[in-house]
Amino acid sequence: MKHFEFEWQTADGLQLFAQGWQPEAAIQGVVCLVHGLGEHSGRYAQVAAALSQAGYALLAFDLRGHGKSQGQRGHTPSYEALMDDIAHLLEEARKRFPDQPCFLYGFSMGGNLVLNYALRHRPQLAGVIATSPWLRLAFEPPAWKVTLAKIMNNLWPAFSTLTGLDINAVSHDPEVVQNYNNDPLTHGRISVRLFVSISQAAQSALQHAAQFPLPLLLMHGSADRIASAEASRQFADCVPGDCTFKLWQGLYHEIHNEPEQQEVLDSIITWLQAHTPP
């Protein structure tokens, strides 16, 4: 497996860090990954290894305000800025792997982003994978916090606060939790602009699921205490075309980092192979 790193500058002047992994042998296709809130692309090396073994390249970037990318931690000036960043990643995939089928894969907040990207931009892709997407939170945030966020979104959109998420809820594997806590590139912040933007986009995605234009693999852990598995089921139930929904019994938020991760990754690869043109 070959590993490489690259960067690009956004329209508003931020340097975004990106990296890729590709098989030594022939490539069957390329997967573009969008990670979740507070984490970074480097946490997907084991996903890249599994995909590479199956013949797929993986391209990923650190979202603005995350990982090795520039920007205020956990902030975006707008939802469209995130859409533009995903568009650039897809352009990189097409430049680096021309004529290869391209898939878009998002986890958690990244799942929210890739579902909305497909709905809003209707890209020419072989398919979309969303795992544990943030379509609704699995808990009810205090009403006063939500109200305050909406007010602050107009007054001071960059105002940020701690997410307060329970990191123990990401995986049953204590090593994954420990590594997350000790990782200098993870953070626990979110700005009011990012929170309001993602929340509004989540509602929009659920309202427009019947217009989803691409083959979709949607997977969620039934014991996810961060993002709602039921919201994923509702989305999948409304998709009119090629949609595979899989609920992993008892799994937490990061289904790719659970003790059952090999089964999860095998399911992703099987779906990719079924949707890769001969």
Annotated active-site residue 208? The verdict is no
For position 151, what pLDDT does the model report?
Answer: 83
Annotated active-site residue 220? The verdict is no
Question: Which of the residues 41, 52, 108, 132 is marked catalytic?
Answer: 108
Domain region containing 88 = 2-274
Amino acid at site 273: Q
pTM of full prediction above 0.95: yes
Question: How do residues 120-130 score in pLDDT, each as one tens digit?
Answer: 999 999 999 99
Count of domains for the chain: 1
Question: Which of the residues 172, 187, 220, 253 is marked catalytic?
Answer: 253
pLDDT band at 79 (very low <50, low <70, confident <90, very high): very high
Whole-number Å distance between alpha carbons of 92 and 201? 25
Annotated active-site residue 237? The verdict is no
pLDDT band at 9 (very low <50, low <70, confident <90, very high): very high
Six-digit token pair at 63? 């979202």
Task: Identify whether the C-beta of residue 129 lies closer than 8 Å to the C-beta of residue 228.
Answer: no
Question: How do residues 219-243 score in pLDDT, each as one tens digit?
Answer: 999 999 999 999 999 999 999 999 9
Q: Is the pLDDT of residue 47 over 80?
A: yes
The CATH number of the domain holding residue 16 is 3.40.50.1820
3-state per-residue secondary structure call for the chain: CEEEEEEEECCCCCEEEEEEEECCCCCCEEEEEECCCCCCHHHHHHHHHHHHHCCEEEEEECCCCCCCCCCCCCCCCCHHHHHHHHHHHHHHHHHHCCCCCEEEEEECHHHHHHHHHHHHHCCCCCEEEEECCCCCECCCCCHHHHHHHHHHHHHCCCCEEECCCCHHHCCCCHHHHHHHHHCCCCCCEEEHHHHHHHHHHHHHHHHCHHHCCCCEEEEEECCCCCECHHHHHHHHHHCCCCEEEEEECCCCCCHHHCCCHHHHHHHHHHHHHHCCCC
pLDDT band at 144 (very low <50, low <70, confident <90, very high): confident
Question: Which of the residues 35, 85, 172, 224 is marked catalytic?
Answer: 224
